[in-house]
Structure 1
Amino acid sequence: MKPVALFLLALIAVAAAQTGCPLPFELVGDKCYHISKTMMTRQEAEDECTKLAPTGNTAALAVLNDCAHQAILWQHITEKTNYWIGASDEVEEGNWRWSTGDEVLHGIPFWFPGQPNGGTDENFLSLSKNGYFADEAGTVRQGYICQLM
């Protein structure tokens, strides 16, 4: 192997060791996230998270069921835009659940006042550009946040 290639591999290994997360994920608080500004539909974002999981790991759209962790992640994000995260009320209208099956807590400090407000037209959770949750239609194209589970 050429010295330049060895050097690059060493740099990648050092970067991964420093973050405690395999690339392309980064440590934010105590969890590993990949924050992407690439605009995708909800399903495309979900599929991309699955593809990004390193061998032996599982990744999915982020689960933000802790107010303090939601704040830490939002402070870490430099591009304030809308991001898909991993919850929906698609199975039962008004019953918001994370992909893990846990209930999404309602009201402030999680949801923007007046949200969710989309009824059966907006069944997927978004971390909106103001840092609060909002319901969105799955066809909307926005960034996404993956989490190693």
Structure 2
Amino acid sequence: MPTRRMRTECQRGQYKAQHCTLEVKNPRNMVFLVLLVPFLPLLTGSPLPPATTATNPQCPPGFHVIYGRCVQFRTEIGTWKEMKNECFNEDAEMVKVDDENFMYYLVEFINDNGLDGHRYWIGASDEDHEGTFTWTDGTEVKMGTPFWGDGGDQVQEPDVGSSENCVGLAREDHFFFFDYPCDAKRSVICESVSKIQ
């Protein structure tokens, strides 16, 4: 069932066309938007890309292959900088969620493996330049849908000024991106920088 946020974004044209493909008016002139994303593979015969690819790396112990990347879920909590160091100690970086398919399979893994009771830091912040979110490798974070959440208030993140500079996945909003104070305590998702081939 589409959420109010999804319907609003479809009406504004913020979702890609394939996400908002059917509009049906009932006799009472109410408009229902049917989001077909979960059913698109069934309707088109084109499956979503698999969660693992043919060029899957072999990951170091404790890491999982998700969409061709080696990731580790660290469920202890700490500040953004503390958890960045935790990843570094594992020869890893905080995860870079820069692809819609990777995000889909990452969240699916979280939900399917009982990891959905945590809030996670990811490797993005705007500490270097207020309002410009970058990954730890210096590349810019994609803004808007489908990455950033709205917390149900219809105002898409990031929506707070200089007090919230670090990015995490919000379990309260389907693990979309939110900006938080960097000294908040969260778990972290790490991505291995060394893959065993």
Q: TM-score range by the shorter chain?
A: 0.7 to 0.9
- 1:126 shift after superposition: 0.4
Q: Is 2:65 the counterpart of 1:21?
A: no
Provide the rounded CA distance (Å) in 1 between the counterparts of 2:191 and 2:170.
17
Structure 1: gaps (5+ residues)? 1-18, 54-58
The CA RMSD over aligned residues, in Å, is: 1.5
2:101 partner letter: A
Show the 5 A alignment for 1:1-149: 20-53=58-91, 59-77=92-110, 78-80=114-116, 81-113=118-150, 114-129=156-171, 130-149=174-193
Runs of 4 or more, structure 1, over 6 Å off, are none
Structure 2: gaps (5+ residues)? 1-56, 151-155
1:38 partner letter: E
Secondary structure of residue in 2 paired with 1:70: helix
- 1:25 shift after superposition: 1.3
Secondary structure of residue in 2 paired with 1:121: coil
1:72 partner letter: Y
Higher relative contact order (CA 8 A, sep 6+): 1
2:180 partner letter: E
- 1:29 shift after superposition: 1.5
- 1:105 shift after superposition: 0.7
- 1:100 shift after superposition: 1.4
* Aligned-pair identity (%): 31
What TM-score results when the alignment is normalised by the length of structure 2? 0.62
Deviation sequence 1:40-97 (CA, Å, 0-9, x none): 11111000101011xxxxx110000001101111100132231000011111111011
Equivalenced residues, count: 127
Provide the rounded CA distance (Å) in 1 between the counterparts of 2:138 and 2:79.
22
- 1:133 shift after superposition: 0.2
What TM-score results when the alignment is normalised by the length of structure 1? 0.81
